[in-house]
A and B are shown apart, each in its own frame.
Chain A
């Protein structure tokens, strides 16, 4: 158990509304990641963070922003949600400060955009 929690676990929202998902970790890991999981696509990286206020884009970052003001929290924001952002969102942390890079995942947030 890597001490990762995600909130909310389920959310239904309407197109055009802002949504923020939270990832919280208890073990001071430096690296944190946001993925989305869609049928037939596996998991795809949205954004990641390598420290407080240090973030970078992943493969599918359009329409998403992130923030990390504290080591333990990594927030994912959909500024104006669209139906294409209906997905399951997973947060992950990477243990250690170097290679090899094993990531551990949170329980996920199921987001439905109507």
Chain B
């Protein structure tokens, strides 16, 4: 069974500072990995995804994530936080070849950006 651990349910950064949101996964096969963002009272929006190929993945709004197989990690980063980045972020995994294409989500990390 797959699982996802997001370290830190709340993260606060100053505007302009580095954003680092951590995600570790457990999977019996190399998974597909996703980051979603949820703004207040909205649905989830795909930020970026890793499937195969280049392990550094760039997404929308200046975010990127690096797949590190040896560390079973897929941490999300952004060099400089903006006030508009305040939201909840979810890491998710799926198992390639599984017929249901199910996603398993982490519990989420709420990002606050301090002016």
Determine which of A41, A101, A104, A105 lies in contact with B101 in the assembled complex, contact meaning CB atoms within 8 Å: A101
Determine which of B4, B9, B43, B108 lies in contact with A105 in the assembled complex, contact meaning CB atoms within 8 Å: B43
- Count A-B contacts at CB 8 Å: 58
Interface size class on chain A is 20 to 34
Instruction: Give the distance to chain A from B100, nearest Cβ to Cβ, in Å.
Output: 6
Number of B residues whose C-beta is below 8 Å from A?
26
- Using Cβ atoms and an 8 Å threshold, which residues of chain A touch B103? 33, 43, 45, 101, 103
- Using Cβ atoms and an 8 Å threshold, which residues of chain B touch A104? 46
Chain B residues with a Cβ under 8 A of chain A: 4, 9, 32, 34, 36, 42-46, 49, 51, 90, 92, 94, 96-97, 99-103, 105-108
- Using Cβ atoms and an 8 Å threshold, which residues of chain B touch A105? 36, 43-45
**Complex contact B32–A100 (CB within 8 A):** yes
Question: A101 vs B21: C-alpha distance in the bound complex, in angstroms?
Answer: 23
Interface string of A7-49 (1 = CB under 8 A from B): 0000000000000000000000001010000001111110010
